[in-house]
Amino acid sequence: MSFATLLVSNENAVRTIAINRPDKLNALNRQVISELHVAFDQAAADDGVRVVILTGGGEKAFVAGADISEMTAMSPVQLRDFSRQGQALMTKIERLGKPVIAAINGFALGGGFELAMGCHLRLAADTAKIGQPEVKLGLVPGFGGTQRLLRLAGRGAALELCLTGEPVDALRAFQLGLVSRVVAAANLAGETAALAGRLAALAPQALRGVIDAIAHGGEAALDQGLDYETQVFAVLASTDDMREGTSAFLEKRKPTFTGR
């Protein structure tokens, strides 16, 4: 389907989803969130897609936050539903079972950074600004920011960003563990595409297993997480890709994974 607020493109097994509201700094409104739900459902269902890149259109912003002009017209009940819709989107991305890379090409504030935290890897341009400024609006993060920040980077980072509301630059974000890598803005698209290509060449079921095991273990006691890891390990041992990977290693050649 075509989208009013997204640009979707494919390069081999990599799908790129770009939020395309540059005049609004790609702010998240109900339409954007609804279309992102559909776009990620499509990516999940398409076996030809092995990796997803999520980025923002234009040069200034990944996503500068939720659309405040829309929010101010909402009732408390509508705002509650808006929060739940956004949280469900971040959870959907987090549990997609395929690696999702956020290419943070500018401002990632409020709902924008919450969206990035739903992704599995985050690459930031050296010009990016990252933060949770909701406290300056008399609010708290509503799309999972307090909880994912806590789990991603610890209590200290969560309190620093959420209590002060001040954005941090890309280097500080890297030091806090909020992003995986910082690259020159001019190189962000190329670096992200190269990383996505490397991931797309790996065994899809193994990538899914890693994502599931880390997600499960992050919410479970250590013994439960270890048990889940063992189950995933054993299931993957029965796949064609495991046999291909081990054979290629022994034969000193590059493996070709089929997802079976």
Catalogue the active-site residues: 114, 134
Q: 245, 205 in Cβ contact below 8 A?
A: no
- Cα–Cα separations (whole angstroms), residue 122 to 99, 103, 105: 11, 6, 10
The residue among 191, 199, 51 whose CA lies nearest residue 123 is: 191
Longest dimension (CA), the chain: 64
Q: 148, 140 in Cβ contact below 8 A?
A: no
Task: Using the structure block, give the residue that is written with the tokens 């939720």.
Answer: 66
The residue among 213, 214, 211, 198 whose CA lies nearest residue 257 is: 198
User: What letter represents residue 92's amino acid?
Assistant: K
